[in-house]
Structure 1
Amino acid sequence: MKAAVIDIGTNSCRLLIANLTNHDITPVYRNLITTRLGDNIANLQLSPKAMDKTILALDQFKEVMENHLVKTYRAIATSAVREASNQEAFLQLVKDKCNINVEVISGEEEAYLSYLGVRNSLKLEMSPLVIDLGGGSTEVIYENTFFLSVPIGAVRVGTNNYSSSDIREAFKILFNKKAEFSNNPLVFVGGTATSLVAIKEGLEEYNSQLIHGYTLTRNDIEGLYKKLQEMPINIRQSLAGLQPERADIITEGTLIMLVIMDILGKDEMIVSESDLMEGTLLTLDIN
């Protein structure tokens, strides 16, 4: 059965259409459009400009789903919409303009869906500690025993000029988890992690098969962080492996990653291409 998921995030809107058979996901179509819906979230408002860009993206997605004859779909919104005081107005706008019903999911459900996506696609000997590093928030989850959602993401760090000390303070609860998760593989999902692999490999064209399951060491990430920090944004925009729209937030996302790895004492991490999109597909009731 063909089904689709729309993810309305802080930095971008994403669409995944796939065939789903007994928890086996075969992607048919993917798209990502940078909308920066959360650019004004420091004021707890979605800006009219960002909402308009998001509506245009969702309208495109709706047309693609119709062309693919998709009948079953789930549209979810995360951090930016979750925190916005004008959330209801935005959801009604999407309904009126695009005829799409959007669910605003909690940080806990966001983490759970990311975990589902990772566990279904990465076959690891031990259960992983999964970090979903987004634009507006970061979720940390281990099985059904530990969950943390922190309103720190790549877009928000840049908007609020957070330092590494600010990030460390936000994730301080993880200091007490260092010993508990010392032997568990650390898995990151999200655009920062996948972009770092693409940059390291110098990918002119995105290769999800190469990226999924790729291991980055702390030395790799520190080297990439230094390289990116020294580059003006206009040079980053032409860097192989990096979406031009992500050029102004890639260092912020990488800094969050390094702080988390340092707190947990991890020397390497695994990148998962599968995340809450795939996890959401698995929750759909396909008849």
Structure 2
Amino acid sequence: MARVACIDIGTVTARLAVADVRDGRVARLAKHSEICNLGQGVDATGRLDQAAMERVFACVRGYVESAREAGAVAACCTLTSAARDAENSRELGAALDSLGLDPLIIPGEVEGALTFLGVARDFPGRTILVADNGGGSTELALGSLSTDGALELRFVRSVDVGCRRLTERFLSEGPLPSADDLVAAHDFAAERLAPAVREGGLVAAGAEGATDAPPEVLVVTGGTVTSLVAVEKGLEPYDPSQVHLAELTREQVGALERRLAALTVEGRAELAGLQPQRAPVILGGTVAVAELLGQTGFSALTVSESDLLFGLATLADGALAGAPSPVGWAPSMRPLR
């Protein structure tokens, strides 16, 4: 059994998982998350802000030390949407390399496959649609994981719809969003999600446009949906056991959107269950989730805490051993000394 550390740097959060892994199965996993907002301003400028990179570097430096103290033998590091979009990502990569990591900017399709791998073990033998709703993008993956562990991915696509992207484009002017701003945000999300949903056959059974082999369930990961469950349940402190595999109906998401839209950022920050640092982008994320439900025709979604980090961890011991990856991509593991 190998104890490994996996670090994922997204548009909004930087996260660490320290996991015990054997033969591609995670026996124990501890997660840490910090909102660093690496993607702040990237949609407008195409560049990572210096202060944002410094926040991420300080956070990851602490993660590396924590991983060493926890006894991890090796670590991997991935970067996603904000780093993909920014022209100066190499600057951050060089800084992370100085910490002993090999930071990899992964394509959206790899991000989607890793998230699917992390989620699918809770749904053996079922055809599922997994959506990773992040800060800059949403990854959509359709497939199944058989009861004997065989992975089948039928479709993977990354769409530039995320909580920070929608917020910065449409929802950051004034203390409260206007009705026109909300409509524009919904239209933007719908226009980008719809082609991928049609191409991938991602529509729920019984809904208009469904194929002969539709997904049975929509599973969504990411800070928006976990926060929405926490707000809906008034979780304080946050309790992952109350969030993992919880369900949100389309009506609940709509009601939460209306509730959030009626509050200023300061008002949202006071909600039980919501991290204050997530208050500026939670409405944008909720719009993305609402459109995801609308475009796919599902009446409800299931929330998963087993996300990209879990998928990374399942690949880590195989990467250390040089074994082939079931998703055609492997993390670059660096020893922790």
Q: TM-score, normalised by structure 2?
A: 0.81
- The aligned residue for residue 136 of structure 1 is 136
Give distance in 2, aligned partners of 1:75 and 1:175: 33
- Summarize the alignment of residues 150-229 of structure 1 with structure 2, pairs less than 5 Å apart: 150-161=159-170, 163-173=185-195, 174-175=197-198, 177=201, 178=203, 179-180=210-211, 182-229=214-261
Q: Which residue of 1 aligns with 2:325?
A: none
Give me the whole-angstrom Cα distance separating, in 2, the residues matched to 1:102 and 1:225.
Answer: 36
Q: Secondary structure at the match of 1:171?
A: helix
SS at match of 2:75: strand
Matched, 1:123 2:132: no
1:103 match: secondary structure? strand
Using the TM superposition, name which of 144-153 and 273-282 deviates more: 144-153
| 1:123 shift after superposition | 2.6
| Paired-residue identity, % | 30
Q: CA deviation at 1:239?
A: 1.2
Counterparts of 2:277 and 2:302, CA distance in 1: 24
Give the superposition deviation at 1:126: 2.2
Tell me, yes or no, if the aligned pair for 1:131 and 1:187 is still in contact at 8 Å: yes
CA distance in structure 2 between the aligned counterparts of 1:26 and 1:241, rounded to whole angstroms = 28
How far is 1:240 from its partner? 1.2
Cα offsets for 1:231-283 (capped at 9, x unmatched): 22112112111111111111111111111111111100100110110001111
Q: Which of 269, 273, 288 is matched with 1:237 structurally?
A: 269
RMSD: 1.6
Rounded Cα–Cα distance in structure 2 between residues aligned with 1:78 and 1:249: 18
- Partner SS state of residue 55, structure 1: helix
Does structure 1 conserve the Cα–Cα contact (< 8 Å) formed by 2:129 and 2:215?
Answer: no
Contact 1:16/1:27, CA 8 A, preserved across alignment? no
The one-letter amino acid paired with 2:56 is T
For structure 1, the 5+ residue unaligned runs are none
CA drift of 1:182 comes to: 4.6
**Amino acid across the alignment from 2:35:** T
- Residue identity opposite 2:216 in structure 1: N
The residue identity in structure 1 corresponding to 2:8 is D
Contact 2:132 2:220 in 1 (8 A): yes
Q: Distance in 1 between matches of 2:29 and 2:249?
A: 32
Alignment deviations for residues 112-169 of structure 1 (CA, whole Å, 9 cap, x no partner): 000000012x135521101010001111011222121111210111111152111111
Q: Which runs of 5+ in 2 are unaligned?
A: 144-152, 171-183, 204-209, 322-337
Kept in 2, the 8 Å contact 1:114–1:276? The answer is: yes
CA distance in 2 between partners of 1:215 and 1:145 (Å)? 24
Amino acid at match of 1:13: A
Matched residue, 1:71: 73
Q: 2:154 aligns with which of 126, 145, 154?
A: 145
Match of 2:46 among 39, 44, 49: 44
In structure 1, how many angstroms separate the alpha carbons of the residues matched to 2:27 and 2:224? 24
Partner Cα separation in structure 2 for residue 195 and residue 243 of structure 1: 8
Supply the distance in 1 between the matched residues of 2:31 and 2:62 (Cα, whole angstroms).
12
Q: Would you say the 8 A contact 1:182–1:264 is kept in 2?
A: no
Q: CA deviation at 1:26?
A: 3.7
Q: Report if aligned partners of 1:5, 1:281 keep a CA contact under 8 Å in 2.
A: yes
Question: Following the alignment from structure 1 to structure 2, what is the Cα–Cα distance between the partners of residues 193 and 27?
Answer: 23
- 200-209 or 169-178: which moved more? 169-178
2:240, 2:309 → 1: CA distance? 14
Tell me what 2:334 maps to. Answer: none
Query: Which is greater in Rg?
Result: 2
Q: Does 1:35 align with 2:36?
A: yes
Structure-1 separation of matches of 2:278 and 2:294: 24
Q: Using structure 1 for the length normalisation, give the TM-score.
A: 0.95
Indicate the residue corresponding to 1:279 in structure 2. Answer: 311
Please give the alpha-carbon distance, in whole angstroms, between the structure 2 residues aligned to 1:154 and 1:26. 32
Show CA shifts across 1:61-87 (max 9, x none). 011011112112211000111121111
Deviation of 1:175 after TM superposition, in Å, equals 4.1
